[in-house]
Structure 1
Amino acid sequence: MSKLGSKIGKRLGSRLSLPLIFSFAVFLIFLVTVIVTGLLFYLADVFGLINEQIIMDGTLVPLLILISCIIIGTAISAFSSRKMVRSIRTFIDATDRLASGDFSMRLQLTSPPEFRILSENFNRMAEELGGIEILRTDFVNNFSHEFKTPIVSIKGFAEMLKHDDLPKEERDEYLDIVIEESARLAALASNVLELSKIETQSILTDKRRFNAGEQIRQCVLLLAAKFEKKQLTLNADIHDYELEGNKELLNQVWLNLLDNAIKFTPEGGEISIHMKKQTAGIIVIFRDNGAGISGEALPKVFDKFYQQDTSHSTAGNGLGLTIVSTIVNLHGGTITCDSILSQGTAFTVTLPAAT
C-alpha cells in the first residue's frame, strides 16, 4: 500500500505542479506590481510630485494607480514569461526538425516537471522513430535485393537459352537455374503475403486443442529427405503434450525452425529437439551444432529480411524467423535465440499449455 500511495502521490504531484507554478507566478506578478506601484507613489509623495489637489480629486489617483499597475504588470509579465516562451520555442524547433527527418534531435528541458516529462517522451518518440526509419530502410534495401536478384538471374539465363547452338547439358543446367530462381521468387512472394496476413491479425482464429508432440514428429518426417541428404543425426525428446492454438500456424513454426537447423548444420552434424512442461507452459528447444550466430547479429535474427550472411549466398530470404516470432507472439508465447560461434544455436519456444 505504501508503494501504491507513493506512486499516486507522484502522479498527483506531477499533475498539480504546473498549475501551482502558474498560480504562484501570477501571485508574484501581482505582489511585485503592487509593491513597485506603492513604492513609486511613495517616492512621488516624498519628492512632492503629488500635491494635495491631486489627492483630493477622487478619480485621478485611482486612474494613475490603474495605469501604473497595467504598465508595471505588463513589463514584469513580459520579462518573467521569457523563460517559458523560450522553452516552448525550443520544443517547436525540435518538433520541426523531427518532422523534417532529423531523428537525432533530443530535448533537455528540466523545469517545470511537466516540461521534463515532455522532454523524456519526446526523446523516446524520436528514438523510436529513428529505429523505425532504420528498419524501413533496411527492409526496402533487403527486399529490393531479394526481389531483384532472382529476376536478374532469370532474365540472364533466359537470354542465354535463346542461342540455338547451346549444348543440351548447358541448356538443362540453365533451365534448372531458371526453375530454382522462379521457385525462390515464388517463395519470397508467399512469405511476404503470409507475414502480412499474420501481422494484421490481432485475435487468434481457428483455435483448437491438439497434440504438439505428434505435430513435431510429422514435421520431422516431412523433412526426413533433407536429414538424409546431409547425413544429420537427430536426438529427439518429444512428448505428447497438448497445446491450444492455430494448428496450421504452429506447424509453420516447427517447420521453419527445423529447416533452419538443417540449413545451418554441417554434413554429419547433429540436431536435437527437446520438449518439457513447466509452470510457464510447454517449452520446445531446437538445437544444432552449426556455425552459430555472432553477438552483433543475435539481436537482429527476428528482423525482416535480416541474414547474417551479407552476401546472401545462403538459401532463404530472411523472413522465416520473422514469421515464426510473429506466430509465437500471436499465441501469447515467447521465442528466444541463444548461440555461440562455432558451437551452435538454440531456439527456445515457450507456449501456454492447453487448459
Structure 2
Amino acid sequence: MSNKLSNRISLPIYFSLIIFFIFLITVVITGLLFFLAQVFGLLNEELAQDGFVLPIMVLIACTIIGTTISAITSRKMVKSIRIFIEATERLASGDFSMRLQLKSPPEFEILSENFNRMAEELGGIEILRTDFVNNFSHEFKTPIVSIKGFAEVLKNDDLTKEERDEYLDIVIEESTRLASLASNVLELTQVETQKILTNKMRFNVGEQIRQSVLLLAAKFEKKHLKLNVNIQDYELSGNKELLNQVWLNLLDNAIKFTPEHGEIEVNMKKNEDNLVILVHDCGIGIHPEALPKIFDKFYQQDTSHSTAGNGLGLAIVKKIIHLHHGTISCESIPLQGTTFTVTIPIGM
C-alpha cells in the first residue's frame, strides 16, 4: 500500500519541485541582475523611485528568464515523451524487439517496465500466430496434395483391382484426416471464443468415462491392449458434451502411443472438493523438452507427422478444462509412459 501511495504522489512532487526550482532560480537571477545593474549604475534613482516602471522591468525580466529556464528544463521531460512515442510507433509497426529504459520520474520507470512486458507478450503472440499459420498450412495442404495425387493415379486404366483399392483407401484416409482437421479447428475456435461455460448440468462423470471406453473398444481390441479401469460414480456439474471430448481425446491419445499388447490405466479419486482423473499409458513417453509444448496448437512431438493426428486435441482439452475452472497436467518418462492428470471442482 505504501509503495502504491508513494508512486501516486511521486510525480506531483516531482513536478512541484521542478516548478519551485524554476521559480527560485528565476527570482535569484532576476535579483542578481538588478543588483549588478544598480552597482554599475545602470539604474538611476528616478527609475528606482518610480512605482510603475521598475515593477514592469522586473516582470519582463522574470518572464524572459523563467521562460528560458522552463524551456531548458522541460527538454528532458519532452525527450522522454518523444522516446515513448517513437517506441509505440515502432511497436505498432511490428517491431516487438523495442524496449524502453526510462528511469525518472518513478512513473516513467513503471511505464517502461509495463511497455517492455507488453512488447514481450506481443512478440510471443506473434511467434505463436506465425507457428499456427505455418502448421495449419502444412496440416491442411498435405492431405489435399495426397488426395490430388492419388486421384490422378486412379485415372490410369492399367491399375489392378488391388492397387485401385489401395489408392482408394489412402484417399479415404486422407479425406478423413482433412475432415478431422476441419472439425478440430472449428471446435478449438468455439471453445477459445467461449468465456462462460454454458449448458451446465449435473451428470455421472464415472458413467460418462465408461461410455467413452466403450466407444473406443474397437481401437483397444485392434492393438490388443489391456485396460485397467478404477472408476467410481461421482456427479459433476459441467458441460457434458465438452467433457466427453476430454475423455475421448485423452483415451485416444493413450491408445495411439501405446504399443501393441500394452496397458492403459484410468483412475479416479475424490480429493476434498475436487475430482481427479488420471489416464496413464505405457507408451513411448514425451521428451522433457517437448513436455511444456504439448498443449500448444498444432504441436506434435513426431515432427515427421507419421503419427495420426494434427496437434489440436490437447489444446482443445486444456481449454475445456479451464472453462470448468480445472487444471490438467502431464508427467512423462521417455520409453516408460505418460500420465495425464485432470482436476475439476465438483461443486463449481
Give the TM-score band, short-chain normalised: over 0.9
Report the identity percentage.
Answer: 73
Cα deviations by residue, 1:229-259 (Å, 9 ceiling, x for unpaired): 1122222211111111111110100000000
Q: Which residue of 1 aligns with 2:62?
A: 69
Counterpart Cα distance in 2 of 1:321 and 1:155: 30
Please list, as runs of the form range in 1=range in 2, the aligned pairs for 1:54-93 lying within 5 A after superposition.
Answer: 54-93=47-86
Find the residue that maps to 1:81 and give its secondary structure. Answer: helix
**2:233 corresponds to 1:214:** no
Does the Cα contact within 8 Å between 2:273 and 2:347 map onto a contact in 1? Answer: no
Counterpart Cα distance in 2 of 1:150 and 1:308: 19
Does the Cα contact within 8 Å between 1:242 and 1:354 map onto a contact in 2? Answer: no
Q: Which residue of 2 aligns with 1:114?
A: 107
User: Quick one: which of 131, 134, 146 aligns to 2:127?
Assistant: 134
Counterpart Cα distance in 1 of 2:90 and 2:39: 57
**2:230 corresponds to 1:253:** no
Please list, as runs of the form range in 1=range in 2, the aligned pairs for 1:28-177 lying within 5 A after superposition.
Answer: 28-177=21-170
RMSD: 1.2
Structure 1 residue 279 displacement after superposition = 2.0
Q: Which residue of 2 aligns with 1:190?
A: 183
Which residue type is aligned with residue 135 of structure 1? L
Counterpart Cα distance in 2 of 1:309 and 1:111: 50
Runs of 4+ in 1 over 6 A off after TM superposition: none
Which residue type is aligned with residue 252 of structure 2? D
Counterpart Cα distance in 2 of 1:113 and 1:297: 41
Corresponding pairs, count: 348
User: Quick one: which of 282, 289, 304 aligns to 1:289?
Assistant: 282
Structure 1 residue 41 displacement after superposition = 0.7
Structure 1 residue 280 displacement after superposition = 4.6
Q: Which residue of 2 aligns with 1:278?
A: 271
Counterpart Cα distance in 2 of 1:338 and 1:101: 37
Q: Which residue of 2 aligns with 1:4?
A: none
Counterpart Cα distance in 1 of 2:336 and 2:84: 51
Which residue type is aligned with residue 20 of structure 1? I
Point out where structure 1 has 5 or more consecutive residues left out of the alignment. Answer: 1-6
Which residue type is aligned with residue 49 of structure 1? L
Per the normalisation by structure 1, the TM-score is 0.95
Counterpart Cα distance in 1 of 2:347 and 2:226: 31
Q: Which residue of 2 aligns with 1:243?
A: 236
**2:316 corresponds to 1:323:** yes
Which residue type is aligned with residue 273 of structure 1? V
Does the Cα contact within 8 Å between 1:209 and 1:354 map onto a contact in 2? Answer: no
Per the normalisation by structure 2, the TM-score is 0.97
Counterpart Cα distance in 2 of 1:197 and 1:213: 26
Counterpart Cα distance in 2 of 1:97 and 1:203: 36
